[in-house]
Structure 1
């Protein structure tokens, strides 16, 4: 399948030519929405690029080794995209870093990439950058005004006609095979690796994704963005929106998502399962607080939603019941998301099938997809057409790429989206790209010969002391179907049996305790309570019935504190850092097998 030979920064001129917008990028400034038009973005970004050129930023000979690297560490905001576009137009390479990155990782990334300048959002991050040893760094610029540190607008003020003219010549010379960004993986299993993605890698993924999951070129369409732009999926989808004429609104924070959804009433957004689970938990908490007929109606609707089947559209009595549930209960769910949602795309981890059924039954279409950073990233996605969606799978492969399963079930992909390689690590590149095939490290199966189902990470499979292989992810997903389980990690490598660390859903457990006349307790007291342990034993026993005997959870430990990004147990895209958790809770794991 053919795709355009655009560079990512061509999205501005493309949008200007095809659907110039008054609200291309939008964010809250001093409590009010501030919109940037396509024309305003083009003018600002060109001046930004000119300022960078005057400061000595260069693409050199347009090789990854000789192009300057510019780092950015900031939450989502229009200035993030301005910086990305401005850096690209000089031929330099943007290296994004998560604001929550630990200091050793931050120092490693800045020094391996030899970042020349860094753009940060606020005073706190300025101090964070200053606290690490960065001999290559020549300067820091901020997006917020910070005393004693130059604001990024100072670069815009440097622009002159001569440099702007030079910039146009440079833009014409930049090949689409040039590296647009180096994205360092979150380092869940060790030292982070810099994934080199070219303009062609990302643009091909944009157009293959558009062909597979059509986004209409409709300038009135709006989206809310809150997944980190540092992650390739949100970055790719940003440019997909720009090439489609779709307006992007940036959430103020994760805490304000609900308010922002109601304010802007978007047509859709991208997310990760953890955030969808949080939304569902809040809805269930409100349902539990209801009484009488309202409570019965709420849980009747939930049970109805659990039975929803997109392959066989609702008919007869079920359809009649569902229409009542949508009118009386699910309507409020849709209104809470702004009332206009036509798509939610989730990825980064497996979504609960139960969750997908209920949201889709409620008239809130959620589509699960999959892809690693190394493939720019999308490999598979469920489609808007019912026949191209299967709950519990990540959908068919997108157009334009080849996907197959290795003998051990590993997912392999080939095509123009596959990365150029790992920066400065050809030996690591050779380990994952063989004969043009990217070895993803994910284990999967094929359903109906079309739909891919991710069953586990190759590195996360473990063997019990009895020699039996265990795939933890399917077990965890099954257990998380229980409303009592907030988070879970399965353990048992080289042990006699499978165990688990469990973080209870404390709000649900407290409701159960109230119903069973148990007194109020702290989290620490709850996880030690015998009655609570009996409850969790019964929950595990119930779900163990559908799991192979060797993989059933025999013993468990309840933990009083939820795993988080700040605590170091989760990556910024809200995936569990298994290695960190196993080390941090080594004593608790030992107690399971003592």
Structure 2
């Protein structure tokens, strides 16, 4: 487990290497070039080469990565990409995404991110609004999408696909990544200093990225992030020492999301290697192979892992379950001590050594055995789930940020953390709470504004540089930030009582090991109700134990036994809530909420409005005759 320093200090007392922030690189291009110069032969990336016989993990050094990045960057220059010209990336998380993004940076262009699940109409809007000239497309599916909307985006002059087979078409509008790199290498032979000249011309105030938010209503808004925002985020994170050059990161998060993009930028500053694989169904298998020391994830990943281990132990029962519960308790005692800056001693130290040998180390092996830090972001993490991971010897440092703040605004440190909070601000970022409880931010990580949308920009950015986050929060006595809910998600019952749905939802997910989603509803209603979905994997073992093993998923989750089981957890939840917050009625849906169905964002956040509208009849039924 990570050791902690005494927890009586505040951010003002934190040991910070301010020199890293003051002397940070001028741009992402400069940052990449500096990293290669410092550690050319160190591993930069790992990626899986997939074949019929299985995955083979390959390692690429920083110098090798630079050779490919420079070639692709020079290829973009040959295609006419000039300073701040936009280049879109429509792909899932993979090694080629990182290469393409870095190539755009060193060529002096601007990366526009597009989720591969984005519908045709929104892709057309993003490409037109950003005025993208070139698009990197992952595969034949993305190429087909671009061909369907080609008439709406005449400014797109070339499509570059990561799949060579998808480049074989009726015209030369689509070319392969290899062909682009070959074009670039020819250019570099003629002008060897081409890429260095492009990097030298970059300044901190040049536009680096436009990330379109996956809003639940209306058109996506393009968040403009300058080079200074990315280099500040990287240097500020480096300055607090939570990550090290010898770390190994496992990266599966969507790189079109600001959190994933930041996790690609941090290695340029700090120097650690990143294993990239966006296949969510391969996370568990890959952790055992890659054995990372660090990983960022959304809360849902931690919830699923926690629930899975709990259910396995319950299924084993008997002596194994008793031993697990004993070790769990010992780990929790040690976790609480270390959160206070103390280490176990005497009998507790002896018990912990035994618990670690018999149980805790076995749990850590499920995550590769070497994880020393997880970072949780994009939504609220249930603090009981976070405490459990810490008791197993894997600290989860919950952080907070938005696309508009370049992902990282606050984060719990390995040396200073408080569960239920999102930590201290990064050095150089200011946080204050408005009179109505809204969290306000100011610093170099804040966006330049919304692209082509001055009205929306004026609504959230004031003349003094303060950004209104739309989140409700509070700062405690030691400067830790606690987020209560999204301002727009807070609702008032017909009785005039305010309810924060996210907090209730997070609590329930920490209680019920079978839940996937829990959606709290009740605006202008006389009581609070909920929509529930059950995890398709987790519920199978429960179904077998309850005589429903031969039923379909829909039959299992809509059964009386499932309703009775969920009711028990709802009763437990209600026992800790105020009367007006308690869940009076709930409906278990016959299918889970998914990204593909448009009910979750690609970063696994709930699209509350979409869900409420789609299941309006079920919600209305809760209040019929009330």
* Same fold (TM > 0.5): yes
Q: 1:299, 1:503 → 2: CA distance?
A: 28
Q: Determine helix, strand or coil for the equivalent of 2:604.
A: coil
Q: Does 1:256 align with 2:282?
A: yes
- Equivalent position of 1:324 in the other structure: 354
Q: 1:519, 1:528 → 2: CA distance?
A: 14
Q: 1:299 to 1:139 in 2, by over 3 A?
A: same
Q: 1:229, 1:144 → 2: CA distance?
A: 18
Q: 2:434, 2:82 → 1: CA distance?
A: 42
Q: 2:198, 2:556 → 1: CA distance?
A: 63
- Equivalent position of 1:224 in the other structure: 250
Shifted more, 306-315 versus 431-440: the winner is 306-315
- Equivalent position of 2:142 in the other structure: 125
Contact 1:179 1:199 in 2 (8 A): yes
- Equivalent position of 1:44 in the other structure: 68
Q: Does 1:140 align with 2:168?
A: no
- Residues 150-165 of structure 1 mapped to structure 2, 5 A cutoff: 150-158=175-183, 159-160=186-187, 161-165=189-193
Match of 1:175 among 194, 203, 208: 203
Q: Does 1:7 align with 2:32?
A: no
CA deviation string 1:66-90 (max 9, x = no partner): x321101112222212211221222
CA deviation string 1:332-371 (max 9, x = no partner): 1211211111111111111111111111111112111111
Q: 1:4 to 1:464 in 2, by over 3 A?
A: same
Q: 1:331, 1:337 → 2: CA distance?
A: 10
Shifted more, 31-40 versus 174-183: the winner is 31-40
Contact 1:3 1:204 in 2 (8 A): no
Contact 1:50 1:163 in 2 (8 A): no
Q: Does 1:29 align with 2:49?
A: yes
Q: Does 1:567 align with 2:597?
A: yes
Q: 1:532 to 1:87 in 2, by over 3 A?
A: closer
Q: Determine helix, strand or coil for the equivalent of 2:470.
A: strand
Q: Determine helix, strand or coil for the equivalent of 2:445.
A: coil
- Equivalent position of 1:383 in the other structure: 413
Q: 1:561, 1:321 → 2: CA distance?
A: 44
Q: 2:552, 2:352 → 1: CA distance?
A: 39
Q: 1:231 to 1:515 in 2, by over 3 A?
A: closer
- Equivalent position of 2:434 in the other structure: 406
Contact 1:46 1:164 in 2 (8 A): no
CA deviation string 1:356-402 (max 9, x = no partner): 111111111211111111111211100011xx100111011111111
- Equivalent position of 2:214 in the other structure: 186
- Equivalent position of 2:11 in the other structure: none
Q: 1:291, 1:536 → 2: CA distance?
A: 21
1:514 Cα deviation from its structure 2 partner: 5.7
Q: Determine helix, strand or coil for the equivalent of 1:459.
A: coil
Contact 2:284 2:367 in 1 (8 A): yes
CA deviation string 1:232-290 (max 9, x = no partner): 22212222112212111112611111222121211111111111112223223322331
Match of 1:446 among 475, 498, 501: 475
Which runs of 5 or more residues in structure 2 are unaligned?
1-17
Q: Does 1:297 align with 2:317?
A: no
Q: 1:247, 1:341 → 2: CA distance?
A: 14
Higher-RCO chain (CA-CA 8 Å, sequence separation at least 6):
2
Q: 1:302 to 1:566 in 2, by over 3 A?
A: farther
Q: 1:251 to 1:90 in 2, by over 3 A?
A: closer
Q: 1:363, 1:233 → 2: CA distance?
A: 24
Shifted more, 516-525 versus 122-131: the winner is 516-525
1:104 Cα deviation from its structure 2 partner: 2.3
Shifted more, 544-553 versus 403-412: the winner is 544-553
Match of 1:87 among 97, 100, 104: 104
Match of 2:446 among 412, 418, 422: 418
Match of 2:501 among 465, 472, 476: 472
Q: 2:500, 2:205 → 1: CA distance?
A: 38
Q: 1:253, 1:507 → 2: CA distance?
A: 17
1:519 Cα deviation from its structure 2 partner: 7.5
Contact 1:305 1:357 in 2 (8 A): no
CA deviation string 1:407-460 (max 9, x = no partner): 111111111111111000111111111121011111112222411111100111
Give the root-mean-square deviation of aligned CA atoms: 2.1
Q: 1:263 to 1:444 in 2, by over 3 A?
A: same
Q: 1:538 to 1:293 in 2, by over 3 A?
A: closer
Contact 1:206 1:237 in 2 (8 A): no
1:135 Cα deviation from its structure 2 partner: 2.4
Shifted more, 479-488 versus 177-186: the winner is 479-488
Shifted more, 393-402 versus 2-11: the winner is 2-11
Q: 1:507, 1:376 → 2: CA distance?
A: 34
1:41 Cα deviation from its structure 2 partner: 2.0
- Equivalent position of 1:62 in the other structure: none
Q: Does 1:197 align with 2:229?
A: no
Shifted more, 286-295 versus 394-403: the winner is 286-295
Contact 1:180 1:197 in 2 (8 A): yes
Match of 2:93 among 55, 72, 76: 76
- Equivalent position of 2:380 in the other structure: 350
Shifted more, 374-383 versus 521-530: the winner is 521-530
Q: 2:135, 2:71 → 1: CA distance?
A: 18
Contact 1:306 1:354 in 2 (8 A): no
Contact 1:48 1:86 in 2 (8 A): yes
Count of aligned pairs? 583
Q: 1:231 to 1:553 in 2, by over 3 A?
A: same
- Equivalent position of 2:458 in the other structure: 430
Q: 2:488, 2:616 → 1: CA distance?
A: 19
- Equivalent position of 2:520 in the other structure: 490
- Equivalent position of 2:510 in the other structure: 481
Q: 1:508, 1:152 → 2: CA distance?
A: 41
Q: 1:532, 1:258 → 2: CA distance?
A: 28
Match of 1:283 among 309, 323, 345: 309
Q: 1:333, 1:418 → 2: CA distance?
A: 39
Q: 1:443 to 1:213 in 2, by over 3 A?
A: farther
Shifted more, 136-145 versus 31-40: the winner is 31-40
Q: 2:231, 2:136 → 1: CA distance?
A: 25
Q: 1:320 to 1:561 in 2, by over 3 A?
A: farther
Q: Does 1:556 align with 2:582?
A: no
Q: 1:516 to 1:69 in 2, by over 3 A?
A: closer
